[in-house]
Amino acid sequence: MAFNLKGRSLLTLKDYTPQEIRYLLDIAKQVKAERKAGIVHQRFLGKTIALIFEKRSTRTRCAFETAFGEEGGHPVFLSTDDIQLGAKESIEDTARVLGRMFDAIEFRGFNQSTVEALAKYSGVPVYNGLTDEYHPTQVLADLMTIEEEFGYLKGTKLAFVGDGRNNMANTLAVGCAKMGMDYVINSPKELWPSEEYIKEIKDMAKENGGSFMITDVPGEGLEGAHAVYTDVWASMGEESKQKEREMLLRPFQVNDEMMKKTKRSDTIFLHCLPAVKGQEVTYEVIEGKQSRVWDEAENRKHTIKAVMIATIL
């Protein structure tokens, strides 16, 4: 089923219905098949996108630039050294200027309020390439990878092991709840999301036929998981907390023993990358036969292209 998403921003997956997320994943599947078959389109010919980066990136930057460029568009990379964002010029004024010159804007940085202000004042679609709260384009790629592996999403189970209140745990919770999946956060209590967020996700999951569980017992809740997911122990901007996080999270390292707790032979391992091999995940797991992190990384490009096609054209 087609949806008219033209002009829509992607700030958080909370703003999209399960049917709209399904639509984006279907477009992603189509453009990936086109890419593999060597079919070239120029859907963004004559269009431009501003890519604003407060935080460094490999996958997000490369995915946006190649996805837009392959379709004939012109991406313009802007770091905080290049523009006045929030420095000599307010975010609102920057948004108004960029909205007059570009067809869309991507933002990757710290505050969710920044990407929301860009969307409010620019008048063009704005995409959240990562904030401290949410990482929606990554989770679209994660959902696509799980569906490629198992053929379906509703009824699959994903377990996130590690820092349970970071942007990945937050956004995976939304993505799984929207798509009727069973989601588990396996994390020390000190790193749990707020009670309000836990209730919100439980209600969302129940509404769509999924479930949500949170536990601080290492490995608990992993039985039956189709995918086990982890992320770095200290997110960007939290490097000073690295030692503290290592103490808290060492029992939650994803290793062979942790993977075996799913009691499934077909469980896959996922990670948004970059990974610190030997910390949150062992070398054997991320480089082993259960790992799908490279498929997942590639799918960033196809899902991002799908979002832009759906909201720009």
**Does the annotation mark 8 as catalytic?**
no
Joined together, the tokens standing for residue 309 give: 């096609």
Residue 167 labeled ligand binder: yes
**Type of residue found at 137:** T
The one catalytic residue in 8, 22, 108, 302 is 108
Joined together, the tokens standing for residue 169 give: 């745990």
**Does the annotation mark 271 as catalytic?**
no
Residue 59 labeled ligand binder: yes
Give the whole-angstrom CA distance, residue 108 versus residue 117.
13
Residue 136 labeled ligand binder: yes
Q: What is the CA radius of gyration of the chain?
A: 19
Residue 58 labeled ligand binder: yes
Residue 300 labeled ligand binder: yes
**Does the annotation mark 302 as catalytic?**
no
Report in angstroms the alpha-carbon separations of 297 from 60, 63, 135, 222, 300. 9, 9, 14, 23, 5
Residue 235 labeled ligand binder: yes
The one catalytic residue in 8, 22, 135, 245 is 135
**E strands, the chain, where?**
48-53, 74-79, 104-108, 126-130, 157-161, 182-186, 211-215, 227-230, 268-271
The one catalytic residue in 272, 279, 290, 302 is 272
- The DSSP call for residue 123 is S
The one catalytic residue in 8, 22, 103, 138 is 138
Joined together, the tokens standing for residue 64 give: 């946006």
Residue 138 labeled ligand binder: yes
**Does the annotation mark 176 as catalytic?**
no
Residue 303 labeled ligand binder: no
Joined together, the tokens standing for residue 173 give: 């919770």
Residue 231 labeled ligand binder: yes
The one catalytic residue in 226, 231, 279, 290 is 231
Residue 108 labeled ligand binder: yes
**Does the annotation mark 62 as catalytic?**
no
In this structure, how many other beta carbons lie within 10 angstroms of the beta carbon of residue 27? 19
Residue 90 labeled ligand binder: no
Please list the active-site residues: 108, 135, 138, 231, 272, 300
Binding site residue list for carbamoyl phosphate: 57-60, 84, 108, 135-138, 272-273, 300
Binding site residue list: 57-60, 84, 108, 135-138, 167, 231, 235-236, 272-273, 300
Binding site residue list for L-ornithine: 167, 231, 235-236
